[in-house]
Amino acid sequence: MCGIVGYVGKKKASDFLIEGLSKLEYRGYDSAGIAVINNGKVEIRKHKGRLSNLVEELSNNSAEGTIGIGHTRWATHGEPSDVNSHPHQTSKGDITVVHNGIIENYSELTQWLKSEGYEFKSATDTEVIPNLIHYYYNGNLFEAVVKATEKLEGSYALGVVSGQEPDKIVAVRKDSPLIVGIGQGETFIASDIPAVLNYTRDIYLLEDNEFVVLTNEGVEVFEANGDKINKEIYKVTWNEDAAEKGGYDSFMLKEIHEQPKAIKDTMAGRVALNEKVNLGDFKLTSEELENMDRIYIVACGTAYNAGLMGKVAIEDLARIPVEVAIASEFRYRNPIVTNKTLIVTLSQSGETADTLAVLRDAKKIGAKTLAITNVVGSSISREADSVIYTMAGPEIAVASTKAYTTQAVVMNLLGMYLADLKGLLKSEEEAEIKNALLELPSKVEEVLNQKAQIAKIAKLISQEKDLFYLGRDVDYALAIEGALKIKEIAYIHSEAYAGGELKHGTIALIEPGTKIIALKDKMISNIREVKSRGAEIIGIAYENQEVDLSVFDEIIRIPQISTRIAPILGAVVLQLLAYYVATRIAPILGAVVLQLLAYYVATERGCDIDKPRNLAKSVTVE
């Protein structure tokens, strides 16, 4: 959601703070601010709007000093404004705080602190924190922060400074991400690794309720009781250039084009033609699988849509019942979860608050948990029993692309692994599916080569107010993701429908000129229904697939993934595997088409593609 940075060293703190915040812009924000300690006084600069507003302010009114904290805010409590922007400061002194998360009991604490003479200027939940720390302050900032957090309910990552102790930053995390960077004669805090990569690759990954004190002497990590913690350094191996645009107009376009490599990297070491699927530390025995009562795939947004594809893959191959659940709904249900249940949590960032809450609840019940995430060392990856990493590399654009396709690939690998464990997948059959998966990177390249045609079609729909996406089976799951993409970045109302549901009410919305994106497989009768009512159809079909061109206004072809199964398997097996390849793996290519379509529509509309309004990359609050 929002981003936090902090610096302690000998250089000008504001230089790093601005640079670090710029690396976190992808997380989504509506205001930015910094606080720097200068000669024992905390100086604050903050502004509503883009980071450039803050940079302009600093050019006219610089903030000197070598210790400071910074923040990009995404409004949850109180509208975007200068006064609601972070950092926030106590009304009775200079204790200053930046905060990522939500304080659930801020109203009660605010009323109590007002009775103690504290004044509040903003409409935020955060302002209660510096006042609460001041209430407990007795000459030791670390102890005051510890005591204050004991009163806080909710989620938080905090960076705290005070002119009374001008040589340090105190930080803590609970249910919101925070890392510590260890440089040469300087130390950092940040919400995410890209903020510090220009300065260090040595990182502490903080756990919940771990407190940090940063000074010129270095970093110390403590438990709440004051006991020191010896943290292991995590070495960042990916290149900082991976978080830059690399010549593309936007991060999203760059990440769309990175999908062949991301898919290949995700399969590396896991898929080999003459070996079983290797899922790393995720291992089940045949007995554990036999006793498993069900699988829940739990996720939010795009990850949820990848889970819908995973459900079909696992049920097709392994014949295990799978339910896909929205994390924010699942946690407030009374789901049937036992110690025989497998909970699979999907999250690009590994910090998604609702998904993380489901994971923790499941572990309390004794369910087995598996995380599928893109971020090494994230909360979800650390707390799950097992983790499968997608190797997508840094994904900066808010709208997820390569994380989605790599999650879909992992879902197929998981289905194969479980099917093999149950003895349902013969080696020849497994080899055929592997062949199809291994073809994906080159086939995605073929889709990317069609971007000029897709951009031309995007112009035809860029001024529409409503769009409909139609599909069946896995293509319906794909339609949901396509509709989400165009909502996210082009701000067009769009809905996805299962083809057979049209006649159950939705067809009443179809009128002459209505634009429909139709994923063709098993859809021709539904397409004719809407075409006869004046709809204009953009079809997505496989190459060499027979198409009645009279019902399509435009058509985009997806490369066919070949089947090379040995004839000795027989015609029936051939048909079944050809069906699986065509309907379970090939739709991943359709996802790339829909990503490009959304991208070019948003471009035509002049939208801020990497930073869509009101959205955040990592949703770390409920």
Question: Would you please indicate which residues are annotated as catalytic (active-site) residues?
Answer: 2, 617
DSSP letter for 352, please: -
Query: Distance between CA 83 and CA 52 in Å, rounded?
Result: 18
What is the spatial distance between Cα 267 and Cα 262, in angstroms, rounded to a whole number? 9
Q: Answer whether 206's CB lies under 8 Å from 219's CB.
A: no
Bridge partners (DSSP) of residue 187 are: 8, 182
Helices 301-318 and 474-490 sit at what angle, rounded to 10 degrees?
A: 170
**8 Å CB contact between 445 and 346:** no
The 3-state DSSP class for residue 317 equals helix
Q: Is 431 helix (H, G, I), strand (E, B) or coil?
A: helix
- Selection from 284, 311, 265 nearest residue 408 by Cα: 311
Question: CA separation (Å) from 511 to 514, 530, 534?
Answer: 6, 8, 6
Please give the single-letter amino acid code of residue 310: G
In whole angstroms, give the CA distance from residue 557 to residue 582. 14
Whether cis (ω within 30° of 0) applies to the bond prior to 87 is yes
DSSP 550-608: GG-SEEEEEPPPP----GGG-HHHHHHHHHHIIIIITHHHHHHHHHHHHHHHHHHTT--
Alpha carbon of residue 96 to chain centroid: 29
Whole-angstrom distance, CA of residue 468 vs CA of residue 516: 5
Q: How far from chain centre, in Å, is Cα 45? A: 30
CA angle 310, 316, 319 (to 5 degrees): 105
Left (φ > 0), alpha (ψ -120 to 50) or beta: where does 40 sit? left
Helices and strands, number each (H, E), in the chain:
19, 25
Q: The sheet that has 466-471: what strands, in order across it? A: 493-498, 466-471, 515-519, 536-542, 554-558
CA distances from 189 to 16, 25, 219 (A): 11, 16, 10
Nearest to 61 by CA among 79, 95, 88, 38: 38
CB-based burial of residue 239 (10 Å sphere; 0-12 exposed, 13-18 middle, 19+ buried)? exposed
